[in-house]
Each structure stands twice: as C-alpha cells, then as structure tokens.
Amino acid sequence: MILTVTLNTALDITYRVRSLRPHASHRVSEVTERPGGKGVNVARVLAALGHEVTVTGFTGGATGRVVRERLASVPGVADALVPVSGATRRTIAVVDEQTGDTTQLNEPGPMVTPTEWSAFQEAYEDLIPSASAVALCGSLPPGVPVGAYAGLVRTARAAGVPVLLDTSGEALRRGVAARPDIIKPNADELAELTGSHEPLRATQDARRRGAGAVVASLGPEGLLAATRDGRWRATSPASVRGNPTGAGDSVVAGLLSGLIEHLPWPDRLARAAALSAATVQAPVAGEFDPGLYEELRAGVVVTGEASAA
C-alpha cells in the first residue's frame, strides 16, 4: 500500500469557457467536480497504474462530505481521512478553450485545532507500518504547524518507509532538513529553497540540505534529477497544451511507483515525464489516457549519467 498525505484536501471544480475575459460574464460550457488536493491527485494516478493507495489528511463540512462520497467511487483508493470541524476548501480552475490557458483560484482551507492535529498524527502513525512508501503533498491548512512535514518525514524514516515530499516555502525548507528520500519542487520552489535560479546548481544544493534525491519540474524543459545514483534530465519530444493542473502530481505518482517497483532512475523519470504530459491533455487533474501515456512514454528522452561506483 502506498500512503498519500493531503493535509489540505479540496473539492476541485473545473469550469470550461469559450474565452476568459476580465470584467465580463461567461457562459460555462462544462463543469466537473473531483476530490482534490495534491496527494489525492497522486493517489488517483497511482491507482490507475495498478497500485493500492490509501489517502489521509483532513476533511470536514459539506464540501468534505462530497469529497468522501466521490472518493469512494475511485477504484483502488482507500479513504483514511481525518475529520475536522471546519469545511474542506474548494479550488476553482477556469479553462479558456480558445487558448488552452487555465486560471486557478485556491481557497485557504479549514482552521485545524491542536486536538485535530494530534488526532491526525496518531492516525498517520497507525498507517505508516502498512505503507510501502509515503507521499507528503501540498500546502498546510491554517493551524497546522509550519514544521508539520518535517515531523511526518521523521516518523516515516524511523519506520524505514521511503518518503517523498512535495510542498513549498518554509514547509519545504524545514521538511528537507528532516532528510526525505525525494523532493519534487518546481523551478520557482527550488529557487526559493536554495536562492539559485540555475537548476543544476540548485538541485545539488537541495541535496546538500538533506534531500536524498531532488527531481525538479521545469515545465516545457522537462524534469531534472540529482540523486545518489547520478544526474539525469527527461524531456518530452514535443510540447503539449491543455490543463497543467495536476501535472506535477502525476510526476510524483510516476516517481513513487518507480521507487516501489525498483526501476532505475532513467526509467522512473521517463514514466514521470510521460504521465505529466498525458495529464496536461486530460480534462481534469489526476487523470490520464493510458494509450496517450504509452505513446508519450515511447518518445521521452532521458540524458545524463550514473555516478561512479
């Protein structure tokens, strides 16, 4: 079982409009709703790849009930969400059909009390022994300590469970110091963490700060990985257009599935890059077309070299 942690779960709502224009009324051509938050998106992709996944984090209020109802219909995903008194947030994605661009609006999430945070930590500790790997994903809701991910990383490491961290800002800085096995920042998050805007130098610096491996999402430039085993870059043969929401989450799913399947790093990166591109072309986050994924996977180019033994 792979465990994904989404402390700030969401109900993802996607609107499609013909053309998004400021200060104007819009007729929505299509609406979709999905359980969301980064770790939930990761879980859906992992389940589609054939892995058993358990989702934990916080959920509450009427929106939280909808999230749990929708999550129950996702094959291969088990619900271990922890209830809170506040309401689960919503995220709104507005897709411009003419340009393919997406505008994202993210609510902050519910206020989590110290008692609720303690209840989550107990639930997490109970789940860890059954996990083959853990993904800690996304933002922290109000009330959760900024060092929360660092503590969750240490708990997983103490149990011998590999852990991937995908967050940003101070939560990432503190989490890296707890020595996660993998971190997956985007270019801006990596630059904020290290102070360097040169990706290769920044990935190396992030490793020195404590990460076992760093896989940076560089948008159209693909993925850049710095690991104990070597350094690689994975790129797709052509740029793809669509909804980029969830593309990074598919990278996480590709990396985690490759980790527990003991794939070499170039194969993990090729899988992650192809899943990311396939997700961009899907209508909503956390989904991909298997046939398109296989087609894109065949075209991914991975360059780099292994470290000397």
- pLDDT tens digits, residue range 70-91? 999 999 999 999 999 999 999 9
Quickly tell me which residue has 């070299």 as its tokens.
305
Query: What pLDDT is recorded for position 255?
Result: 96
pLDDT band at residue 117, thresholds of 50, 70 and 90?
Answer: very high
pLDDT digits (tens, 9 = 90+) for 145-172: 999 999 999 999 999 999 999 999 999 9
The Cα 197–Cα 195 span in angstroms is 7
Instruction: Say which DSSP state 219 is in.
Output: G
Contact 206, 176 (CB under 8 A): yes
Out of 12, 166, 205, 249, pick the active-site residue: 249
Residues sharing a CB contact under 8 Å with residue 189, sequence separation 6 or more, in sequence order: 168, 169, 172
Q: Name the pTM for this structure.
A: 0.90
Strand-pair category, 77-79 with 53-59: parallel
The string of pLDDT tens digits covering residues 256-306 is: 999 999 999 999 999 999 888 887 766 666 677 776 777 777 888 888 877
The question of whether 188 is a catalytic residue gets the answer: no
Confidence of residue 52 (pLDDT cuts 50, 70, 90): very high
* DSSP designation for 186: B
Q: Note the pLDDT tens digit of each residue in 203-244.
A: 999 999 999 999 999 887 889 999 998 999 998 866 666 656
